[in-house]
Amino acid sequence: MKEESLRDKMVSGMYWTALQKYSRMVVSFISGLILARLLTPEDYGCIGMLAIFMALSNTFIDAGFGSALIQKKRPTQTDYSTIFFYNIGMASFLYATLFFLAPSVARFYNISQLCPILRVQALVLFIYALNIIQHNILKKNLNFKILSKVSVVTSVISLGITIVLAYLGFGVWSLVAQNLISAAVPASIFWFYVKWRPIPVFSWQSFRGLFSFGSYMLLSHFVNTLGQQIQGMFIGKLFSPSTLGYYSKAFSTESMASHSISYVFTQVTYPIYSEIQDNREQLASVIKRLTITISYLTFPLMLLLMLLAKPLFLILYSERWLPSVPYFQVLCIVGISSCLQAVNTQSIAAIGRSRDMFVWTLFKRVIGSGSMLLGLFVFGMKGFLFGLVIYNYLAYFVNIALVSKYIGYHWRDQIRNLMPVTIVSSLAVAVSYFSVSFMDVGIYVKAMAELVVFLIVYIGWSLAFRPAAFIEILGLVPKLYKFWKRIPDSM
């Protein structure tokens, strides 16, 4: 693929993905302002306790076939139909399993209400199964325009209905409804928009061919999902639903921040990686540019959010949610490494090394989950958070080592490319904190002053030294880039 064509596809996909992500962020912001005042930490905790069952079920429904269909150069109608019927059959089996396991789940947590909640929420599995093929066809064709529009419409509709139900006193059921609506709206639209329809065929040859790649993707996703979701299960079992609710709120807020930028890039990268998988030099160049660009935007954001965590939670969620602040601050440290992980792991999958990715994913998760659970049982939530930090940085170094080995973007080069942003971001936060710490003003005025000082330091460095990431970002906005090129270097 020519460099110009590749760049045009990436920029177009990023624009539409950015529209999708930031529109949803606005909706989530409004949702946070309203629902956090209408619902309780216990309501969010109940949904968090069931997250592991829903996440693992979705992993088995997809089974890595979505990634396999995108990675395959020319999937056929038989390929698509075979996987569609697999999705439907697996969804039916998993729903029946969860339906009969629901009473046992309720007894495990000693919360009887979880039984009917799980049985209703699990209906989303059927909707998800109907939607997978259409979604992957759009993604493979880099049609992020329709994906973005549908996502925005879905967010607005689900928010409106959820707020009404929460206001009417439905409590946790309003969150269940939100999950069902968020799946049903895009599924309905995609069935009308995407002209593909299944044909009555199931090919074992096609299934085996895709499964040879997808099976390792399934195992990788399963290990990752289990490692992520088992955290909530143990927190919910060892502590109160409110503790899990506070952690869930901190996790969702941090994820929205750390993924707000990296998501825009990584939604586009896997199809692009798959197209250029045979050109390792070009692939390494793309990974490098994505790495420095994402780090330039995400690293300072996460450090700034750590600094402003308390006023942020007061504004977003009210004083009721202040116990989430310490969790959120540690998760921001985690977010600094996690924002770059998909950029590296997707490239390993795109070149067909799904088996290697699974082996190392298993290694990372065994070490990481072991440290988190050991910390949780011995030292409580503080020990758990410390183990979480260890896991994420271990995962990052393993990922860049794999990219170094199989693609050629050496791990030392990647770390070296990240150092300027890391140092300047840390310096900007330190200057912001110490220059404002002596001020005897209200918490919001102090937070605003810290924000202003931070922006002056970070943007001033960017304008003065013009780091490569800064130039890359300007290059994504052609008019700004042309304006910048007219500014003489002597300024």
- Beta carbons of 145 and 76 less than 8 angstroms apart: no
Query: Do 66 and 179 lie in a common domain?
Result: yes
Last residue of a domain, one of 215, 248, 270: 215
Dihedral angle computed from the Cα positions of residues 409, 412, 413 and 417, in that order, rounded to the nearest 10 degrees: 130
Query: Do 312 and 364 lie in a common domain?
Result: yes
Confirm whether 18 is domain-assigned.
Answer: no
Q: Is this structure's pTM higher than 0.85? A: no
Predicted local distance difference test score (pLDDT) of residue 156: 83
CA 488 to the chain's CA centroid: 40
Angle at CA 331, nearest 5°, toward 361 and 270?
Answer: 45
Last residue of a domain, one of 215, 247, 275: 215
Query: What single DSSP character describes residue 487?
Result: S
Query: Do 249 and 136 lie in a common domain?
Result: no
- Beta carbons of 37 and 166 less than 8 angstroms apart: no
Predicted local distance difference test score (pLDDT) of residue 480: 42
Query: Do 192 and 309 lie in a common domain?
Result: no
Query: Do 246 and 295 lie in a common domain?
Result: yes
- Beta carbons of 246 and 323 less than 8 angstroms apart: yes
Predicted local distance difference test score (pLDDT) of residue 284: 87
Q: Note down the domain range covering 207.
A: 39-215
Query: Do 125 and 265 lie in a common domain?
Result: no
Query: Do 201 and 262 lie in a common domain?
Result: no
Confirm whether 139 is domain-assigned.
Answer: yes
Confirm whether 19 is domain-assigned.
Answer: no
9-21 per-residue burial string, b: 16 or more CB within 10 A, e: under 16 = bbeebbbbbbbbb
Confirm whether 27 is domain-assigned.
Answer: no
Residue 255 CB-half CA count within 13 A: 8
* pLDDT tens track, the chain, 491 positions: 455 555 566 666 666 766 766 677 677 667 766 777 777 777 777 777 777 788 778 777 776 666 677 666 677 888 888 888 888 888 899 899 999 999 998 888 888 888 998 899 889 888 888 888 887 777 777 677 777 778 778 888 888 888 888 888 888 888 888 888 888 888 888 888 777 888 888 888 877 777 776 667 767 777 777 777 677 777 777 777 788 888 888 888 888 777 777 766 666 666 777 777 778 888 888 888 888 888 898 899 999 999 999 998 988 787 888 899 999 999 999 888 887 887 788 788 777 777 787 788 888 888 887 888 888 888 888 888 888 888 888 888 988 998 898 898 888 999 998 999 999 999 999 999 888 888 778 888 999 999 999 999 999 999 888 888 788 777 666 544 444 444 343 33
Which own/partner pairs from 154-161 qualify as long-range (CB within 8 Å, at least 24 positions apart)?
154/181, 154/182, 154/185, 154/186, 155/23, 155/24, 155/27, 155/28, 155/182, 156/27, 157/181, 157/185, 158/182, 158/185, 159/27, 159/30, 159/31
How far is 161 from 116, CA to CA, in rounded Å? 20
193-221 per-residue burial string, b: 16 or more CB within 10 A, e: under 16 = ebeeebeeebeeebbeebbebbbbbbbbb
Query: Do 250 and 124 lie in a common domain?
Result: no
Query: What single DSSP character describes residue 322?
Result: G
Query: Do 154 and 249 lie in a common domain?
Result: no
- How many beta carbons lie within 10 A of that of residue 366, not counting itself? 12
Predicted local distance difference test score (pLDDT) of residue 304: 92
Number of domains within the chain: 2
Confirm whether 220 is domain-assigned.
Answer: no
Block residue for tokens 């992020």? 144
Confirm whether 22 is domain-assigned.
Answer: no
Predicted local distance difference test score (pLDDT) of residue 273: 76
- Amino acid identity of residue 62, one-letter, is D
Predicted local distance difference test score (pLDDT) of residue 336: 87
How far is 378 from 92, CA to CA, in rounded Å? 40
How far is 132 from 268, CA to CA, in rounded Å? 17
Give 26-90 as a DSSP string: HHHHHHHHHHHHHS-HHHHHHHHHHHHHHHHHHHHHHTTHHHHHHHSSS--HHHHHHHHHHHHHH
Block residue for tokens 């499964």? 211
Query: What single DSSP character describes residue 277?
Result: T
Confirm whether 334 is domain-assigned.
Answer: yes
Tokens of 289: 């540019």
Query: Do 419 and 361 lie in a common domain?
Result: yes
Query: Do 297 and 175 lie in a common domain?
Result: no
How far is 312 from 299, CA to CA, in rounded Å? 18
Burial class (CB in 10 A: 0-12, 13-18, 19+), 412: exposed
Confirm whether 229 is domain-assigned.
Answer: no
Query: Do 116 and 255 lie in a common domain?
Result: no
- Amino acid identity of residue 386, one-letter, is F
Phi, psi values for residue 294, rounded to 5°:
-65, -40
